[in-house]
Amino acid sequence: MEYVIEMIGIRKEFPGIVANDDITLQVREGEIHAILGENGAGKSTLMSILFGLYHADRGTIRIRGREVSIKNPNDAFTLGIGMVHQHFQLVHNFTVSENIILGKEGGFVYDIRKASERIKAISERYGLSIEPDMVIEDITVGMQQRVEILKMLYRDADILIFDEPTAVLTPQEIDELMQIMRNLAAEGKSIILITHKLEEIKAVADRCTIIRRGKLIGVVDVKEATPAEMAAMMVGRPVSFKVEKAPAAIGEPILEIRNLSVMSARHVLGVKDFSLSVHRGEIVGIAGVDGNGQSELIEAITGLRRVESGSILFKGQDIAGISIRKRNELGMGHIPEDRQKRGLILGASLSDNMVIKEFYKEGFSHYGILDYPRIQDYAEEIIEKFDVRSGEGADSLAGKLSGGNQQKAIIGREIESNPDLLIAVQPTRGLDVGAIEFIHSQLVKERDNGKAVLLVSFELDEIFNLSDRIAVINAGRLIDVVDTDDTDVNAVGLMMAGIKATGGDA
């Protein structure tokens, strides 16, 4: 069998961590080859080596049977390797064509019309449906991704690397992308798909290379493997997709939201006359399509957004007007939606991040002077307890951690501060099965310890798996609150669209 790409015995070390330890990857011509691994397993490092962003410490790379040395992305381009990055590299106020020919203008005066014609032709051939004259900022995220794909095809790449391509897409866009990948493979392109989502691999890949903690675990034929088998190989133990939890022991109400209205950033009411209470010992899940007022609701509860009218009672006290710090001190924990923007200071050490809410408290400081040894110990404790993997322990910069480990650090910080109410917004977004399982079990543990948990998620599976009660939000209004045991995905799905199961119009 002829391999298009062979990476043999690749080793790459980073300070304190072996990112790739003797990994071999062989990709056949015209196949869709998935690389499956947890966050931080070394998938991205391996691909960065193939793409010339890193240099392997050891190992050889062969492209179409010829041994090559790839020093930089230009070498990779010359060999016909293109990469669709997780974060798009597009100029927002340029048109599609301008973005695609950027760097390939071919002289001082360039012919945009000729380029556009070629782009249109490629777009039609692979079913990308992209208009060359559209401006990037006017098109959807899914379309922007297709522009990235076009960019590769325009440069005659026949080996395409997709780095977690579905993280930013809606379910419908994911289906479209899968179809595009099949089209590309059918035309003889070889595709490497980096992902940790098993259903995607099942849907589209031919073979799958699984790596764990920098080591090659195995190569499987996707048709012959079950998701559970692949998950077990990825994580190193059997994975339960179902969260085990005992019946809820519901206590007194911790959070009582009464007739709350909140303005959105666009100066219209984002949350309208919303009432909900959360009790000790239960997880209340807020189900809804993204953008239906969840962010505004959570920001109002946590103090990041002003309350327009109504009240928020926290342990019986109206907190609508008090500062964020006071809310924290009253016992509110918050796992924010955007962990890199809100949750962490990426340029600061993990130890600083672990005390960012509490550094001023007696114990971490005395008379305004920080007690660094104490802070360091505290951070090491969290790192240990929540299995946060980082190259240099508490001294690691938060930005150097993988997404899953960043999230574990945040969850560790919030849980260690021992809150009475834990608000978790999209706590597992973009994470792999192992991390999701861990985070879910932590949330359930909090509930079992008699804490109140308020969960916001756009993934119904997660809501159903974790919640004791489900509150459905649509267009800023509470449609209904139902017991998880008394409902099903269909009923909640309808409510998410604004239709109340009992037939009444909300």
Partner 1 sequence: MRKSAGTLEARKASPLLVSLSAVFLGIIAGSIFIIFIGKNPFDGFEKILFGALSSRRRIGNTLGMSTQLILIGLSVAFAFKTGLFNIGASGQMLVGGITGSILAYYLPMDMPRVVYLPIIIIAAAAAGGFWGFISGLLKAKFNVHEVVSTIMLNWIAYWMVYDFIPRFIIDPTISVKSKPIPLEHTLRAEWLRNITGFSTLNYGFFIAIAMAVIVWFILKKTTLGFSLKSVGSNRFCAEYAGINVSGSIMVSMAIAGALSGLAGLTYYCGYSEIMEMGKMPNEGFDGIAVALLGNCSPLGVFFSAIFFGILKMGRGSLAATGIPTEIADTIIATVIYFTATNVLLSAFWNERFRQSFEKKEEAASAAMKANGDARSISELSRKEFESLSKAGRHLPKEGR
The contact set with partner 1 (CB under 8 A) reads 13-16, 18, 302-304, 323-328, 334, 336, 341-348, 352, 356-357, 359-360, 365, 368-370, 373, 376, 380, 391-393, 395
Beta-sheet pairing, 452-457 with 421-425: parallel
CB of 377 to partner 1, least distance (A): 8
CB of 247 to partner 1, least distance (A): 34
CB of 302 to partner 1, least distance (A): 8
Please say which residue, 60 or 129, places its beta carbon nearer to partner 1.
60
Please say which residue, 121 or 369, places its beta carbon nearer to partner 1.
369
CB of 350 to partner 1, least distance (A): 11
DSSP label at residue 506 = -
Q: What are phi and psi of 163, to 5 degrees?
A: -95, 105
Please say which residue, 214 or 270, places its beta carbon nearer to partner 1.
214
Structure tokens at 273: 């006359």
Q: Which of 423, 422, 354 is nearest to 390 (CA)?
A: 354
Is residue 180 within 8 Å of residue 149, measured between CB atoms? yes
Is residue 262 within 8 Å of residue 269, measured between CB atoms? yes
CB of 11 to partner 1, least distance (A): 9
CB of 314 to partner 1, least distance (A): 14
Please say which residue, 205 or 354, places its beta carbon nearer to partner 1.
354
442 Cβ partners below 8 Å, 6+ apart?
386, 411, 415
Distance of CA 292 to the CA centre of its chain: 20
CB of 9 to partner 1, least distance (A): 13
Strand positions, DSSP E, 364-487: 365-366, 369-370, 421-425, 452-457, 469-474, 477-483
Please say which residue, 128 or 394, places its beta carbon nearer to partner 1.
394
DSSP label at residue 37 = -
Please say which residue, 425 or 478, places its beta carbon nearer to partner 1.
425
CB of 14 to partner 1, least distance (A): 8
Please say which residue, 131 or 371, places its beta carbon nearer to partner 1.
371
CB of 12 to partner 1, least distance (A): 11
Please say which residue, 61 or 482, places its beta carbon nearer to partner 1.
61
Instruction: Say how far apart CA 176 and CA 106 lie, in whole Å.
Output: 32
Q: What are phi and psi of 400, to 5 degrees?
A: -85, -5
Is residue 279 within 8 Å of residue 252, measured between CB atoms? yes
CB of 248 to partner 1, least distance (A): 29
Instruction: List the strands of the sheet with 190-195, edge to edge.
Output: 66-68, 58-63, 3-14, 17-28, 215-221, 207-212, 32-36, 190-195, 159-163, 81-84
Q: Sign of the C-alpha dihedral, residues 342, 338, 196, 65?
A: negative
Q: Sign of the C-alpha dihedral, residues 459, 462, 465, 471?
A: negative
Please say which residue, 228 or 345, places its beta carbon nearer to partner 1.
345
**∠ at Cα 329 (472, 373), nearest 5°?**
120
Please say which residue, 104 or 361, places its beta carbon nearer to partner 1.
361
Q: List the beta bridge partners of residue 422.
A: 333, 453
**∠ at Cα 149 (170, 118), nearest 5°?**
130
Helix (H) or strand (E) holding 207: strand 207-212
Give the CA count within 13 Å in the CB-facing half-sphere of 496. Answer: 20
Please say which residue, 236 or 363, places its beta carbon nearer to partner 1.
363
Please say which residue, 392 or 488, places its beta carbon nearer to partner 1.
392
CB of 106 to partner 1, least distance (A): 29
Is residue 147 within 8 Å of residue 119, measured between CB atoms? no
CB of 271 to partner 1, least distance (A): 19
Instruction: Say how far apart CA 218 and CA 240 lie, in whole Å.
Output: 21
H helix runs in 21-69, sequence order: 43-50
Please say which residue, 249 or 265, places its beta carbon nearer to partner 1.
265
Structure tokens at 99: 């973005």
CB of 337 to partner 1, least distance (A): 10
